[in-house]
Structure 1
Amino acid sequence: MSESIAQKFAGKPKDLGGFEVRRVLPYPRQRMVGPFIFFDQMGPAEFAPGQGIDVRPHPHIGLATVTYLFDGALGHRDSLGEDLVIRPGDVNWMTAGRGVVHSERTPAPERAAGHRMFGIQTWVALPTDKEDIAPAFHHHKAETLPVIERDGVRFNLILGTAWGQTAPVKVFSPIFYLHGVLPAGSGADLDIDHAERAVYVVEGEVALDGEPVAAGEMAVLTPGSAPRLAASKDSRVMLCGGDSLGPRHINWNFVAADRATIERARKDWSDAALTGFPASGRFTLPPGEDEHIPLPD
């Protein structure tokens, strides 16, 4: 293996009730990359007319969710009252903090017509002193994100800082997240100044300093290295990382530095469901929703 690659691993298929994702993080020997603690590839999947995604309301704490689509559309509703549709290239940054509830569903027009769904969902852990902040939601249109051109490769900066550019999304620790499109024969040096970095290959064929990285694999870079990313076919990659926040516990949809914080959240969700999600509680349902995902055993 190239000295610029610390380790390389493939995501594992996971069925989410009729819709398959490829789960990359957490991985047994790589629980996080910088603050990124969860990384799923959604699709590509083709939905026939009348079919779609229906993720019922569920809670989060201690993290920020990031949804980024290549194809399709996804309706977002949350307990803050936000109700909008995510389109390709847009960024949805939902800060869960002390607690938020949201649902994800295929919008009515796409459900009626049939559509293709393809994208990445990630969770970003919050610093310990920000785990209990008030929840918030920010939506950034694709045209507001910086575009970086390097040696014929086009990168969209989704989060944080890279190559002297800064994305408009408010973040809570040093971080970077890039979507890269590489035409066949192109390449770029990954001299990105962050402590922890990884490359995920969504599709195509690429190599890092000559070491092949297959579609569906993540390569964690050696600290301080600046490998050459080169594509032999038209390819799509995601680059992510940032400063380490220290170890985190993850249980269902909850992330925290302290296990007791997760246990309290589990109890609060269970209690809210039993009492009908009172408006004064920690967890409430998004307006217009009357379902929820029960607490798993």
Structure 2
Amino acid sequence: MSNIKLIIEERASNIGNFMVGRLLPFREKRMVGPFAFIDHMGPVCLNDHENLDVPPHPHIGLSTLTYLFEGSIMHKDSLGNEVEIKPGQVNWMTAGAGIVHSERTPAYLRHSEKMLHGLQIWVALPKEIEKMAPEFFHVESNDIPSWESDGISFKLIAGAAFGKESPVPVYSPLYFLELKTKERKTVKIGDDLFGESGLYILEGAIESEGYTYEPKQLLVAKDSKLCEFVMQENTTVYIFGGTAFPEERFIYWNFVATTKDIIEEAKTKWLEQSFDNVPGEADFVPLPEQGRSIKN
């Protein structure tokens, strides 16, 4: 029997003035471990008058992880951070009780052609700290654990696995790994993973028990400890997952919480514009129409 429990196809979604490929949440699988949301951005070439502009918007109850393959994003938040995100770096913002941030093309790139390609991820917080004070960390690419094994290049972008630990300060047991190979290789993960596990194919293809899977597919495993597959030539995959929470999570817009009441509080707070502001930013993303339901 195949170890693949579910295949999720990347779905187009509009995040304002930019199209992304949405992987999570999915109607049959809302979360994988603590991972609640994954968007694949690009690859897209923006011309000299096209830019990424996501005005200030709020988050609660989660950590965001931005990881770029190409391009650059300027991050500004209500804690006063202003950081340019470049390929290979990790932008880790923990919202907790509430944070506001904007994401834009940096000023020096706004009048030139540029590429943008990467992943944006939400990791839900454990119930006991979902209202913690917001935090922000930026990790340089050379601080991410990287190693080679049997012709496969590994990066541990966040969490812990293979006896290694990323400097990204996560708040629950999880892992987010990059695997790359130029040659056809068999991967046997064994006991190095735990909890729920998903595999996203960025480029190339993998083979598992007679089936071939290609880019823009997210494969959710039945058992992370039975993770074995063949990577074809010039393949890059991302494996993520971890220990699932005992409680369900509700998702509305940019809010993740263990109760609908917490989300209602956040909605009211944003409508009243009583979240802290992003310094130097005057516009904002309005709350979606009130008729939308809170998803679980």
Alignment of structure 1 residues 115-134 onto 2, 5 Å = 115-134=114-133
Q: Give a deviation string over 1:207-227, Cα, whole Å, max 9, x none.
A: 234432221111111225433
Q: SS of the residue aligned with 1:296?
A: coil
Decide which moves more: 97-106 or 180-189: 180-189
1:233 CA drift (Å): 3.2
Residue of structure 2 in register with 1:290 after alignment:
282
Residue of structure 1 in register with 2:167 after alignment:
168
1:108 CA drift (Å): 1.6
Report if the CA contact (8 A) 1:35-1:242 is conserved. Answer: yes
Q: Distance in 2 between matches of 1:248 and 1:116?
A: 34
Report if the CA contact (8 A) 1:183-1:231 is conserved. Answer: no
Q: Give a deviation string over 1:179-222, Cα, whole Å, max 9, x none.
A: 22121312321223311111001121112344322211111112
TM-score normalised by the chain length of structure 1: 0.93
Residue of structure 2 in register with 1:208 after alignment:
208
Q: Distance in 2 between matches of 1:210 and 1:174?
A: 32
Change in 2 beyond 3 A, CA 1:3/1:151: same
Residue of structure 1 in register with 2:229 after alignment:
229
Q: Distance in 1 between matches of 2:18 and 2:266?
A: 27
1:269 CA drift (Å): 0.5
Alignment of structure 1 residues 259-278 onto 2, 5 Å = 259-272=260-273
Q: Distance in 2 between matches of 1:31 and 1:126?
A: 15
Report if the CA contact (8 A) 1:150-1:188 is conserved. Answer: no
Q: SS of the residue aligned with 1:113?
A: coil
Q: SS of the residue aligned with 1:260?
A: helix
Residue of structure 2 in register with 1:278 after alignment:
none
Q: Which blocks of at least 5 consecutive residues in structure 1 are unaligned?
A: 273-280
Report if the CA contact (8 A) 1:159-1:171 is conserved. Answer: yes
> What one-letter code is carried by the residue in structure 1 that aligns with 2:216?
G
Q: Distance in 1 between matches of 2:119 and 2:141?
A: 15
Q: Give a deviation string over 1:129-154, Cα, whole Å, max 9, x none.
A: 01000000000000001013222111
> What one-letter code is carried by the residue in structure 1 that aligns with 2:285?
I
Report if the CA contact (8 A) 1:25-1:31 is conserved. Answer: yes
1:256 aligns with 2:287: no
Report if the CA contact (8 A) 2:193-2:225 is conserved. Answer: no
Residue of structure 2 in register with 1:186 after alignment:
185
Q: SS of the residue aligned with 2:272?
A: helix
Residue of structure 2 in register with 1:244 after alignment:
244
Q: Distance in 2 between matches of 1:184 and 1:257?
A: 44
Decide which moves more: 226-235 or 67-76: 226-235
Q: Distance in 2 between matches of 1:37 and 1:55?
A: 20
Paired positions, count: 287
Residue of structure 2 in register with 1:42 after alignment:
41
Q: Distance in 1 between matches of 2:168 and 2:286?
A: 31
Report if the CA contact (8 A) 1:207-1:213 is conserved. Answer: yes
Q: Give a deviation string over 1:112-137, Cα, whole Å, max 9, x none.
A: 22111000000000000010000000
Q: Distance in 2 between matches of 1:19 and 1:166?
A: 33
Residue of structure 2 in register with 1:157 after alignment:
156
> What one-letter code is carried by the residue in structure 2 that aligns with 1:236?
T
Q: Distance in 1 between matches of 2:193 and 2:40?
A: 25
Residue of structure 1 in register with 2:83 after alignment:
84
Q: Distance in 1 between matches of 2:205 and 2:85?
A: 28
Percent of aligned positions that are identical:
39
> What one-letter code is carried by the residue in structure 1 that aligns with 2:259?
D
1:75 CA drift (Å): 0.4
Report if the CA contact (8 A) 1:55-1:103 is conserved. Answer: yes
Q: SS of the residue aligned with 1:64?
A: strand
Report if the CA contact (8 A) 2:196-2:224 is conserved. Answer: no
Residue of structure 2 in register with 1:277 after alignment:
none
Q: Which segments of structure 1 move beyond 3 Å, counting only runs of 4 or more?
A: none
Q: Distance in 2 between matches of 1:197 and 1:154?
A: 19
Aligned Cα root-mean-square deviation (Å): 1.3
Residue of structure 2 in register with 1:105 after alignment:
104
Q: Distance in 2 between matches of 1:11 and 1:146?
A: 28
